[in-house]
Amino acid sequence: MRAYNFCAGPAALPTAVLEKAQAEMLDWHGKGLSIMEMSHRSKDYVAVAEKAEADLRKLMNIPENYKVLFLQGGASLQFSAIPLNLLGKNSKADYIHTGIWSEKATKEAQRYGDINVIEAGTTVDGKMAISDQSTWNLSDDAAYVHYADNETIGGIQFANIPETDKPLVADFSSSILSAPLDVSKFGLIYAGAQKNIGPAGLTIVIVRDDLLDQAKPEIPSILKYAAQAKNDSMVNTPSTYAWYLSGLVFEWLLEQGGVDAIYKANLAKAELLYGYIDSSDFYANPIAKANRSIMNVPFTLANPELEKQFLKEAEENHLLNLAGHRSVGGMRASIYNAVPLEGVQALVNFMDGFAKRNA
């Protein structure tokens, strides 16, 4: 049986997608070989790659003047690729700090330019929150403004897209495709695939055309967006299987009714879980309501000594990977697109039973 998997990443994939991949594994579309064994330059593979891009464009309503790149190295390599590509003409950038991932992005960028760090963490009634933009000290001459839409570890998410006349660069690793998004507000959006898209090994970069010509000359060609765009993300061999499987996830999302429909489902899941946590004295979530992540729900137990027992019993109940990140402890349920409402309901039922048994 398949358990409910609340892993933060690599994360749950839709069962229907895995079944399709399984059915196509040995003999893809009657060609006598698997997709993994095909040249990335073959007509068949290129068609798979192009279909995945077209479906992602449809799902996110990506305007014509944006390139969609299918890269490797994870979101973490983009922490370097972004400054190397975008700090060529002006080596200043603003980085908004809301948690561990935006901080890691900042640390890498500081190797390449003059980075203005904006501390946006605050508290509201004792809960962690993101401060109002009016309190931020944005520079007037930044080449771009960077932020992480959803801090996967802290479970804190922006309620709005920051306003700026500079190119806005955003890490959407754990929130891409979870809710409708106006791509035209951004200069660049990036996301590692292994949270809310597909297998690890693929990184999506959506970049506006006018940002392609300002890379630093010493940039490795694999990291250069202009070179990758010109070569259809095939400057070298791409992560072909992850790209194919992500394409199956995009088809699955379209079948679900697209991003609007999955957003509704995600809201229902988040409301169910946060609603239960708020109603209980046994569990607590540390984030102010306006900034609660709809994808990653951290929670603590009133008695931390019960954490091990909680995790053990959860696993016995086929509820997997609920431990919080090693840096923060506690619990975390990641409820990405592929986690169904029934999974969240099963989690809430288990949490309620556990609380009653240990009251």
Ligand X SMILES: *Cc1c(COP(=O)(O)O)cnc(C)c1O
Site residues (CB under 6 A) for ligand X?
9, 74-76, 101, 148, 152, 171, 173-174, 192, 195
Catalytic residue among 55, 149, 171, 232: 171
Measured distance CA(224)–CA(85) in Å, rounded? 6
Q: Shortest approach of ligand X to residue 26 CB, angstroms? A: 29
Q: Is 193 helix (H, G, I), strand (E, B) or coil?
A: coil
Measured distance CA(286)–CA(299) in Å, rounded? 7
In DSSP notation, 26-58 reads: SSGGGSSS-GGGS-TTSHHHHHHHHHHHHHHHH
Q: Is 171 annotated as a binding residue?
A: yes
- Residues contacting residue 162 through CB under 8 Å, at least 6 positions apart: 96, 133, 145, 147, 168
Q: Strand 283-284 and strand 296-301: pairing?
A: antiparallel
Cβ-closest position to ligand X: 74
* 169/351 with CB nearer ligand X: 169
Measured distance CA(60)–CA(266) in Å, rounded? 16
* 46/117 with CB nearer ligand X: 117
Catalytic residue among 67, 166, 195, 224: 195
Q: In the numeric block, which tokens belong to residue 260?
A: 């609007």
Q: Shortest approach of ligand X to residue 254 CB, angstroms? A: 24
Can you list the alpha helix ranges (DSSP code H) found in the chain? 15-24, 43-60, 74-86, 100-109, 225-230, 240-255, 258-279, 307-316, 341-357
Q: Is 15 annotated as a binding residue?
A: no
* 187/201 with CB nearer ligand X: 201
Q: Is 75 annotated as a binding residue?
A: yes
* 174/266 with CB nearer ligand X: 174
Told to judge if 252 belongs to the known catalytic residues of this protein, a careful annotator would answer no
Q: Is 290 annotated as a binding residue?
A: no
* 178/348 with CB nearer ligand X: 178
Residues 32 and 217: beta-carbon distance below 8 Å: no
Catalytic residue among 28, 67, 94, 101: 101
Q: Shortest approach of ligand X to residue 67 CB, angstroms? A: 20
Q: Shortest approach of ligand X to residue 47 CB, angstroms? A: 27
Q: Is 256 annotated as a binding residue?
A: no
Q: Shortest approach of ligand X to residue 89 CB, angstroms? A: 26
Measured distance CA(32)–CA(150) in Å, rounded? 42
Told to judge if 243 belongs to the known catalytic residues of this protein, a careful annotator would answer no
Told to judge if 195 belongs to the known catalytic residues of this protein, a careful annotator would answer yes
Q: Shortest approach of ligand X to residue 337 CB, angstroms? A: 14
* 48/105 with CB nearer ligand X: 105
Q: In the numeric block, which tokens belong to residue 242?
A: 């992850």
Sign of CA dihedral 61, 64, 67, 69: positive
Measured distance CA(96)–CA(109) in Å, rounded? 12
> Of 119, 122, 124, whose CA–CA distance to 136 is shortest?
119
Q: Is 101 annotated as a binding residue?
A: yes
Q: Is 230 helix (H, G, I), strand (E, B) or coil?
A: helix
Q: Is 42 annotated as a binding residue?
A: no
Which residue numbers are catalytic?
101, 171, 195
* Known binding-site residue numbers for pyridoxal 5'-phosphate: 75-76, 101, 152, 171, 194, 236-237
**Residue list for the binding site:** 41, 75-76, 101, 152, 171, 194, 236-237
Binding residues for L-glutamate: 41
